Amino acid sequence: MKEKKESKKPAKEAKKESSGQGVKELEAARKKILGSSDEDIERKPSDEDIERKKKILGSSDEDIERKKKELLKKAAKLKEKLAEEAPKTEELKELVKAKKKGEMLVPLDEYVKAGIYIGTKVVTPMMKPFVYRRRADGLAIFNTDLIDEKLKEGIEFLSKFEPKDVILVCKRKVGWRAVEKFSELTGIRAFTKKYPAGILTNTNLPDFFENELTIITDVWLDKNALNDTLKVHKQILMICDTNNFSEGASNIIIGNNKSEKSLGLIFYCLTRGYMKAKKMDTAKIPDLEWWTGELNEPQKGASKGV
């Protein structure tokens, strides 16, 4: 029995040795995969490693900190300089407002006084982009900045044509006085009261003539002139209120086209802008108050109304 026990002992030891050998092989495989020895894995970076890294980065901790402080100091100086040079918010607002007013065809309060910004209760899809808001009574209000812009565009567009190639139509009575003065000063033919239908399309009419541009004061009242112009495929400059449709227009001017003051202001701007562009004598143009009906008679030196 003793011999049997002794024969089993070497077998256990062999099993332990075999197990230890397996662990070592696994550890060796792990190190091979990681590519490092135990020393490499456990060793902390040396001073040489740190210095080498710093050289690669090109700066030491002190250099980085110093540069950071310098940049912060420069930023603070720049901020102070900008604060000194830049105007205050309120001053800036006043500067923008003054510049804006200076660039307008007439002062903003003249637009307001003439009521050019007051539309109707009806707003067509084409006029909606120009409407600023609605009043409590339901009337739509035009944006005065856009009124000014569209007037400038209208003047520029009109100035491309010679007086003999343009006609102006205005059936609305409140606009006759301003329209006739515009016609007298610019030499552009104007039709008030009634437009002779077919004058642009019927060659058999004794007063037939060809034009290049028709100015329409209100599409609802001046539709005959609009239709004739469309038939002969000529250009159209249209004054549009909030309730107007602008189909067929080559260019539009927005504003109240139902008021004497508003139409007077519009034709004052058109007259002055057109005459300047054509290098005509603008000294004959009456003051704005005459056009808006605030003066019963023309100013001294101004030509008499038609």
Domain coordinates of the chain in residue numbers?
104-291
Mean pLDDT of 265-285: 96
> In the predicted model, is pLDDT for residue 306 greater than 50?
no
**Is the pTM above the cut of 0.75?**
no
Cα 120 from Cα 133, distance rounded (Å)? 12
> In the predicted model, is pLDDT for residue 186 greater than 60?
yes
| 203 or 268: which leads in pLDDT | 268
Mean pLDDT taken over the chain: 81
Mean pLDDT of 19-24: 61
> In the predicted model, is pLDDT for residue 5 greater than 60?
no
Q: Which CATH number fits domain 104-291: 3.40.50.10490, 3.40.50.10800, 3.40.50.300, 2.60.450.10?
A: 3.40.50.10490
Lowest mean pLDDT of 78-82, 129-133, 180-184, 250-254, name the range.
78-82
> In the predicted model, is pLDDT for residue 15 greater than 90?
no
Q: What is the pLDDT of residues 131-181, one digit of tens each?
A: 999 999 999 999 999 999 999 999 999 999 999 999 999 999 999 999 999
Q: What is the pLDDT of residues 52-70, one digit of tens each?
A: 665 555 556 677 777 778 8
pLDDT at 65: 78
Q: Are strands 140-142 and 131-134 parallel, antiparallel or unpaired?
A: antiparallel
> In the predicted model, is pLDDT for residue 248 greater than 60?
yes
Backbone phi and psi for residue 19, each to the nearest 5 degrees, phi listed first: -65, -45
pLDDT at 85: 54
Tell me the percentage of the chain whose pLDDT exceeds 90.
58
Of the pLDDT bands very low, low, confident and very high (cuts 50, 70, 90), residue 294 is confident
Cα 57 from Cα 2, distance rounded (Å)? 74
pLDDT at 14: 53
Of the pLDDT bands very low, low, confident and very high (cuts 50, 70, 90), residue 123 is very high
pLDDT at 297: 47
